[in-house]
Amino acid sequence: MLSQFGNLTYSGFMSQPKILLVLNPTAGKGRAGRRRSEIEAALAKRGLDFETRLTEGAWHAAELAQAAGRQGFGAILAAGGDGTLNEVLNGLMLAKEAGSPLPTLGVLPVGRANDFAFGTGIPRDLAGAVDLIADGSKEGIDVGFVKGGDYPRGRFFGNGLGVGFDALVNFAATRLRNLHGPLAYTIGALRIFALFPLPVAVRITSEDFRWEGDCQQVSVMNGRRMGGAYFMAPEALVHDGLFDICVVEDSTRYEMAELILRYAKGTQIGHPRVTMGRASRIYLDAPLGGLAVHADGETICERGRSIEIECRAGALEAFIPRRPEKAGK
């Protein structure tokens, strides 16, 4: 085994792809950066051939991912939280649109909420996540695409998109610089709950799902969870070619408080204010404006009028646990 310091490279089994490790040193309030040596040691222990590059600012992870295939990397690992993963995923999808070679996506969940990793079944512990990559467990995963608001050309997302109350909670949680993970999301929810913004009139149309009325929030999910603790779509799958949709109509404070508790257990299905559905393409229109939208925690718009959302089935190959029916194949 050879080691080269600086950007560390370890040469292991020749049959394994060369790996680009994209590490966001600021993820998890800096904890990801402090774990660099631990991460590299875990990869080296499994004999993986990798090169580390640290992100240097916003969108740098996307740029690294977009170039990775052209540079000969067969796999790319996003080491950070959901924001890092979102950038890497966007870079890979832009590379795919350009016809560039596509590395397999891997995730080392060393950030805050790590909702994408949870929804795909990636182990929470570092050793388990590295074992999954070393064992070569791969599946095709769906990728979301949203167009509108601040992104007229569109932006990709992996875990989920939130509209209304959920988006406002995300904005509030992001501003809590000294808190992170589920605690930040919970404090953000309490702040928005205290303000209790008015619902927004929306129309949701697709081939498979339609809804119209005054809406408190909409969750469009590829994964199962938001904010590290809230199961907006407890039955969602990342490889079924469909979004799971959760719509909450105009509700009282008491009803929203009850729903927040239900989200923590994933038991909102059947609540009289909740409508669930599935669709692959969605058009969401607010005739009077006022749409607050985030995707994977990234702001899409704060007072938009319409967005289009598309599920791109099996768009990327990722290191995730195999589905039970494929486990023995």
Per-residue pLDDT tens over the stretch 52-101: 999 999 999 999 999 999 999 999 999 999 999 999 999 999 999 999 99
Q: How far is CA 61 from CA 38, 78, 84, 317, in A?
A: 20, 8, 7, 18
Kindly give, in sequence order, each residue whose CB lies less than 8 Å from that of residue 41, ignoring residues fewer than 6 positions away.
none
Same domain, 118 and 242: no
Question: Do 162 and 226 have their domain in common?
Answer: yes
Number of domains in the chain: 2
Same domain membership, residue 81 and residue 185: no
Question: pLDDT below 70 — which residues of the chain?
Answer: 1-15, 175, 177-182, 184-185, 324-329
Question: In this structure, are 83 and 177 located in the same domain?
Answer: no
pLDDT, tens digit (0-9, with 9 covering 90-100), for 135-181: 999 999 999 999 999 999 999 999 999 999 888 877 777 767 665 66
Same domain assignment for residues 181 and 111: no
Domain co-membership, 188 together with 87 = no
Q: Do 132 and 157 reside in the same domain of the chain?
A: no
CA 39 to chain centre: 21
Q: Answer yes or no: pTM beyond 0.85.
A: yes
Residue 321 lies in a domain: no
Q: What pLDDT does residue 15 have?
A: 61
Q: Which domain holds residue 104?
A: 2-136
Same-domain status, 55 and 192: no
Distance, in Å, from the CA atom of 142 to the CA atom of 306, rounded to the nearest integer, reads 23
Same domain, 46 and 97: yes
> What backbone phi and psi angles, to 5 degrees, belong to 7?
-80, 105
pLDDT value, residue 248: 96
**Residues 164 and 124 grouped into a single domain:** no
